[in-house]
Amino acid sequence: MLSIETLVTFISISTFLCFLPGPDNILVLSQSAINGCKYGILITIGLCIGLVIHTSLVSLGIAAIIQANTLAFKIIKLFGVFYLIYLAWGAFKAKPIHIKSNTKSFNDTKKFIKKGLFMNLSNPKVIIFFLAFLPQFTTDNTIAISVSLQLLYLGLIFVVIAFIVFTIISYLSGFLNKMISSKPSVQTILNKITSLIFIVLAINLCIDQRLPIV
């Protein structure tokens, strides 16, 4: 199993990243502020279903790649380094987000869940991020569970964290909306911290010579 230290680190970073202003939580925030907390939670359910699908693809995909070709896995690993650097630069240069009001409302519960699901599945960056992020917390210990199960385990933990964080955002939508809109300096600080985290993850991925055991 994964060590307590690894889990604490993973949960801490994942929680911080889930709270950062991004397409998913901005959608939850805006729809909660406009239509009410209930609808933000429905969107969250859809988003998390999408995350489960992405997690499954990553856990099964990486395991298959390692079994078939270690060189291919190393290429994906290198791609992950560059992608994390790209995310770091994007976060460093990001400007404060201003949430626009939307008067459109949906009364159909299924529409909100589908909206969240489509939002997540239509963003290919999610699976790319998982490819770069999750493997860093696996272990090559021979007595540990397989890498595919480790990735699935970590991915599901991320999904649970995302659900909890997005639900909190739904309940605090009014306060958070006001903070994000009226205090862009808060976003700027968070973006800089995010940039640093991505750089650290990129460096760690670059120097990590472990090849997970499937």
What does the DSSP assignment read for 121-190?
HT-THHHHHHHHHGGGG----TTSPPHHHHHHHHHHHHHHHHHHHHHHHHHTHHHHHHHHHH-HHHHHHH
pLDDT above 90 (res 187): no
Q: What band does 159 get if pLDDT is binned at 50, 70 and 90?
A: very high
pLDDT above 70 (res 208): no
pLDDT above 60 (res 100): no
Distance CA 87, CA 152 (A): 23
pLDDT above 60 (res 135): yes
Q: What band does 103 get if pLDDT is binned at 50, 70 and 90?
A: very low
For residue 3, which amino acid is it? Answer: S
pLDDT above 70 (res 68): no
CA angle 183/198/17 to nearest 5° reads 50
Distance CA 137, CA 208 (A): 11
Q: Quick check: 116 and 45 in contact, CB under 8 A?
A: yes
pLDDT above 70 (res 109): yes
Q: Lowest mean pLDDT of 27-31, 39-43, 55-59, 115-119, name the range.
A: 27-31
Tokens linked to 185: 């300096």
Tokens linked to 87: 């995310």
What's the whole-model pTM score?
Answer: 0.71
- The tens digit of pLDDT for each residue in 165-185 reads 999 988 887 666 666 666 677
